[in-house]
Structure 1
Amino acid sequence: MSQYQRLFLIAGPTMRHSPALQRAVAIAKATGAALHIGVFIDGFDILGMMSRHEQLRERVQQENQQWLKDEADLMRTNGINVTTEVVSTRNALPEILRHVTEMQPDLVIKDVHHESALKRVFMTPLDFHLLRECPVPIHLVSEIGFPLPRVVVAAVDPSSPDKRITGINDRIVMAANGLAMQCDAELHLLHAYDASQTHISDAGAGAVTMPGFSSEVRRSLHKTFTALADRYGIPSERQHFIEGPPTKAMAGFAAHSRADVIVMGNAHRKGLSKLVGSTTEHVLYQVPCNVLAVNAQVDE
């Protein structure tokens, strides 16, 4: 039996044969999972305009309903169990989350919508909200070389886990392994070790780096990393313990290895830490690779 039983593709009113649609159809066909496609029309941002014009909304809704019907008919001839709906709403986020809660899909799939840096200062993108709040794994797709992924990378952090998110590394690897197995892709394990962040705290003295401390920490992390790889049967040639700032190191690795999907954990942080953003959010915009995020709730 396939791990995936139900997939949920989130689409926008101007989306047609996008990378996320191609990925969702390919996974559904490979796994036999049912696919539900929802087009969410935001009444406050139709066709990029702040508009509440009822005729425009109805026209956009009818066009999408017809397009979805034609696409669904074609998918069914290829053996895919697909359902569709068009949802007109004034706020897409709570409507999407309500659908996820009610449907309980195994995987949510959506195209990445890149917002400008200036716009992100004043408004959190929908993709970031979904990374933080979607209760099931979400696959954000920017581009695909092949309909099914060929290289899936589990990006883990073998440092002492936060007690509030213990087990996230295992969940990341299991999610990556599940995707790789169902798509007949290679599974790799990755950790980007940032030596510049290695220090100990001394009360009254701030951060202190001691001779030999960094290399000892590195050895300890690498030991934990290889133990995780061994637990899931990942061979040494697919284990990558690299050095550098996480986002930059992952970008270089993704380009070099032609990775299709990086599977990461994403903590829902509260308060001021939300202003900085998680590594997963930075990777989404800076790494030439698609992201599958496994959410871990963290209270701060």
Structure 2
Amino acid sequence: MSCVTKILAVLDADKQQQKAMNRALHLARISGAQLTFMLSIYDFSYEMTTMLAADERNVMRDSLISDRQAWIKDLLEDYNTRDINYDVQVLWHNRPFEAIIETAIEGNYDIIVKATHQQDGLAALLFTPTDWHLLRKAPCQVLLVKEHEWPEHGKILAGIHTTGEHQHHRSLNTCITEAALKFANCLHSEVHLVNAYPGAPITIAAEIPEFDTSSYAETIADNHKIALAEHAMPFHIPAEHQHVREGLPEQVIPALAEELDAELVVLGTIGRTGFSAALLGNTAEHVISNINCDLLALKPEGFVSPIKL
């Protein structure tokens, strides 16, 4: 079974090295998927040129779009595109993430592939760049690309939340594992599952001296191991590929990904919006800042993007 059938690869307007182009071509080659390279461009000065009539502004805008289409085709000359079904789209839009999501919805794409870049300092904490908007609002899978290669017989790490009692948690766990297995099949890789669990609250140990923190931790760990094994059983994922570790997911997952030298981490993302999302983000957003491999983010089943056509 193919991991994807339609790929939307988002290019960087100001970079010669296109990580998303390279990864999307690799993915299209191994899956046989249809591939679209898209670029969203906008120049506010063109819209504010009052000396020109609307028709003249449109001509200038169309000229810029044509130049960018030619630039993308020049970039593609450095790649092997034989037997790959692809097209190129350049859109004029002042909000790139909306252009990407609208294109993904209209074209019914399975996955958005985009290079990600480290955001440093306060800007990463308070402001939401295109990557974060896609994690929260894209209607399909989002593959954020870093530098790590995709070797055959590599490792794919799927983050599972086993303590959720609600059906949507179980459904998302299933989607995450199935996606990891499909990619593993395409990449000839092996799937590992990871589940992070919290340690004993320090306040309990301080307030109740007789509280046995080590026994508590062992019980919690055993419960998580049992739950993860039950989840893994129908997918035939062996016990040695099931990892249960104490700590926060955003700490445990990057540490294990580095230990395994994983090529891909697969996570669910809840699509949080509003000020709390801008300030806090969610697990997928914290993890992407701390891993050196690609991240595949999935939405819960039935998720509807807030971006409308």
Q: Same fold (TM over 0.5)?
A: yes
Report Cα offsets for 1:247-277 as digits up to 9, x if no partner.
2222221111110110000002245542311
More divergent stretch after superposition (77-86 vs 239-248): 239-248
Higher relative contact order (CA closer than 8 Å, sequence separation 6+):
2
Aligned residue identity for 2:23? R
Gaps of 5+ in 2: 50-56, 305-309
User: Does residue 109 of the first structure (1) align with residue 132 of the second (2)?
Assistant: no
Of 249, 253, 261 in structure 1, the residue corresponding to residue 252 of structure 2 is 249
TM-score scaled by length of structure 2: 0.82
Distance 1:194 1:74, change over 3 A: same
Aligned to 2:218: 215
Moved over 3 A (4+): 50-63, 70-77, 146-149, 161-166, 196-200, 209-214, 270-273
Distance 1:199 1:161, change over 3 A: farther
Give the drift of 1:60. 5.6
Contact 1:151 1:186 in 2 (8 A): yes
Take 2:176 and 2:93, find their aligned partners in 1: how far apart are those partners? 33
Give the drift of 1:17. 3.5
SS in 2 for 1:229: helix
Aligned to 2:142: 138
Q: How many matched pairs?
A: 289
SS in 2 for 1:35: strand
CA RMSD of aligned residues (A): 3.2
Aligned residue identity for 1:67? W
Take 1:23 and 1:147, find their aligned partners in 2: how far apart are those partners? 12
Give the drift of 1:11. 1.2
More divergent stretch after superposition (233-242 vs 12-21): 12-21
Take 1:127 and 1:107, find their aligned partners in 2: how far apart are those partners? 14
Aligned to 2:265: 262
TM-score scaled by length of structure 1: 0.84
Report Cα offsets for 1:116-172 as digits up to 9, x if no partner.
222234421111110011111110011122477822111111113445544111110
Aligned to 2:27: 27
Contact 1:111 1:142 in 2 (8 A): yes
Take 2:188 and 2:229, find their aligned partners in 1: how far apart are those partners? 23
Contact 1:76 1:82 in 2 (8 A): no
Give the drift of 1:42. 3.7
Aligned residue identity for 1:90? N
Contact 2:20 2:114 in 1 (8 A): yes
Of 176, 189, 196 in structure 2, the residue corresponding to residue 192 of structure 1 is 196
User: Going by fraction, where is strand more abundant, 1 or 2?
Assistant: 1
User: Does residue 279 of the first structure (1) align with residue 283 of the second (2)?
Assistant: yes
Aligned to 2:54: none
Take 2:249 and 2:264, find their aligned partners in 1: how far apart are those partners? 16
Contact 1:152 1:176 in 2 (8 A): yes
Report Cα offsets for 1:47-91 as digits up to 9, x if no partner.
xxx996779977764442112223556767521001111112111
Give the drift of 1:199. 9.6
User: Does residue 173 of the first structure (1) align with residue 177 of the second (2)?
Assistant: yes
Distance 1:253 1:167, change over 3 A: same
Map 1:1-300 → 2, pairs under 5 A? 2-43=2-43, 61-72=65-76, 78-146=82-150, 150-196=154-200, 211=212, 212-271=215-274, 273-274=276-277, 275-296=279-300, 297=303
Aligned residue identity for 1:260? E
Aligned residue identity for 1:13? A
Take 1:149 and 1:7, find their aligned partners in 2: how far apart are those partners? 23
- Structure whose alpha-carbon radius of gyration is higher: 2
Contact 1:75 1:82 in 2 (8 A): no
Take 1:33 and 1:71, find their aligned partners in 2: how far apart are those partners? 20
Distance 1:93 1:81, change over 3 A: same
Contact 1:150 1:184 in 2 (8 A): yes
Contact 1:39 1:87 in 2 (8 A): yes
Take 2:203 and 2:108, find their aligned partners in 1: how far apart are those partners? 42
Distance 1:162 1:125, change over 3 A: farther
